[in-house]
Structure 1
């Protein structure tokens, strides 16, 4: 190692902690416990104070919570909006018209992709999988699309394209940017991730479609009858028990339920109250997409030079959360009436926070450990020392070993991609983002590669792998379960398309955004 970088025992303990966390991910075990232990040992090695080291366990999660609370708040408000729409039946009504244009299996494939992508982009795949599976997938099967092809389309569009960019809600780019440090910007990471997710998804969809197109058959009601008679074989439950629970929690935690038949939710109203609810249901089925389309316009138009003021800092997240909260209030007022809505709105927000912490709470100790290695005020807050004395553990390690790091942008880009994919092996795509973000912040300046681009590459690897396209014990279980196909067969159908997409998008990122 180079002589001008002083590597202390704390640096070595931090490096050992990173290795332990990666190994734990490879073993498909949750990494919260290793993160807490590593935080304590690093703090002890730096401060030589057992009492302060114990306090650092709390401080790490507290600092991470302060840095990431805007993400939790957006998740809570969007989830509360979703719950209010369910009460009116507007969520089902938004997608039901697309059943009519599924004229054959080929069009059904791409309609499933488009609707799953849009819903997942605004609400995460949590409602997209059961909603699309219950409302649109049966129509797609009648049109001649095989259930496996339907599962592949839903997984690539929702668990892959939408979740890997997470452009609207901003959880993934927010975590990546925070871990990468001052050199990264969440908005820029989100922009790069959006482009890379579309490239990856476009390649994956093209390969998947051409590999499955011969299995598409002429439409028939008999296809639906045969599909409805299928049942699971216990494989999903076994695989779910083997993997990390985090992504499965994201897929299930809202307790999304549809009536036995989608038509039950939209049956003809027979009373004045039901007539009124139907009108409001139609109204919000139109208003919600328009509202979020305006949000997207405000976010994108400045980047196209349209003269609209660009959103700064956390303004984009605030706009998304504010729109979600406003629509939730209006939808609840319409569904429950002014008097009852005061209590119901509070319940929706409470349920939203419960889901946010169930889905993302375990990320806090993990992020806290990697924030400890970034230096500056975050490290100072965790170790309870002055900011001027805070070590930049990970950055020091990278600088000390920079002569071992290849200066090729392509090799570094694929290196971060592979690290992200390794972190996704546990089936939890988001738990690896603090590591890929921190590595990007440390490696980017060293090799002269844009930190935002590198963070987006790592995000692609982590989320596409663990988010539900390449790992059988991830929330891909939910996709395969609703489609009534083998989750292992789904993984086999997705592997080559997704890997090809990730390779192409990484090359594009290095060549055009590096």
Structure 2
């Protein structure tokens, strides 16, 4: 559980909420707010670090009693979760096996590092950028190739069977993890105009209902003209828009509200936009709702996605509150 919480906070929260390298999130927020992208990106980076470090520290103290010393018994228990076969007892490796293990221990991180480098290069160089599911397909393809290579080296006669078994285990866990999430997510998807149109099978050109965003817009007038209330109001608005599981779809709305509220409350629009961006991406990006990409983290850690969200809730919320207070006070 501790591993899943750490990955969710650092990867799903800190990295996505700042989006400092690609700057897609700051661009959406800044464009709607009418401010410079760099201004939102710089402040979002600081707020994401404050939120993430606070959440990591709190999560550590909450979970440290569950930490145990490394043991083969723990590995066997972890591997048995969700139907995975139990690991066999430890034995002395031969020299050839030791070299093979070392080779794959180096190959796996190097291969995925090469994928990351290529994706960054493609983004900034203007070459063939990986849009849509192309990035996920590239990562998945590399993973499958490594899986096939490892299975072949381990036992080439049974390699195809082993690859099939591992793929089945992965798909089985994915369906088991998403089972209780899909019905809940469906209700929130009805609140997004883009998705609700497909759910209601509306014809092209027909205005689809957007209950979630309409609710946020209706509550805008009730936010008092105070920097404190405006900051936390934007944080809550961002969190509500993040309930659709994306985190990015509500950024234009958050940015527009920031630009409208900034002159009346005396706070920089970039600051309000960064606060709203924190709320939207930390919630929808994959730390506080179970139907977001946190499912992938739960699958890796082999823990319940619902329980993972519960463990992240208090640390992340504490970090968001602290970062919002600091933003209003300093910026």
TM-score, structure 1 normalization:
0.42
1:161 aligns with 14
1:201 aligns with 52
Q: Is the 8 A contact 1:232 1:485 kept in 2?
A: no
| Residue 353, structure 1, aligned to residue 131, structure 2 | yes
SS of alignment partner, residue 231 of structure 1: helix
Shift of 1:155: 0.1
Shift of 1:321: 3.1
Shift of 1:320: 8.3
2:303 aligns with 485
For the residues of structure 2 that align with 1:357 and 1:446, how far apart are their CA atoms? 42
2:208 aligns with none
Q: Is the 8 A contact 1:161 1:197 kept in 2?
A: yes
Q: Is the 8 A contact 1:196 1:460 kept in 2?
A: yes
Q: Is the 8 A contact 2:223 2:233 kept in 1?
A: no
Q: Is the 8 A contact 1:161 1:201 kept in 2?
A: yes
2:241 aligns with 423
| Residue 499, structure 1, aligned to residue 301, structure 2 | no
Distance 1:474 1:443, change over 3 A: same
Shift of 1:355: 2.9
SS of alignment partner, residue 133 of structure 2: helix
Task: Report Cα offsets for 1:282-318 as digits up to 9, x if no partner.
Answer: 9x86x959xx8xxxxxxxxxxxxxxxxxxxxxxxxxx
Pairs within 5 Å for 1:188-227: 188-227=39-78
1:460 aligns with 278
Distance 1:267 1:491, change over 3 A: closer
| Residue 447, structure 1, aligned to residue 265, structure 2 | yes
Distance 1:197 1:232, change over 3 A: farther
Aligned length: 236
Distance 1:267 1:462, change over 3 A: closer
Shift of 1:197: 0.2
Instruction: Extract unaligned runs of 5+ from structure 2.
Output: 85-99, 138-192, 195-216
| Residue 322, structure 1, aligned to residue 140, structure 2 | no
2:294 aligns with 476
2:214 aligns with none
SS of alignment partner, residue 11 of structure 2: helix
Shift of 1:229: 1.1
1:177 aligns with 30
Shift of 1:426: 1.8
Instruction: Extract unaligned runs of 5+ from structure 1.
Output: 1-147, 234-262, 269-277, 293-318, 326-348, 360-364, 367-396
1:62 aligns with none
TM-score, structure 2 normalization:
0.63
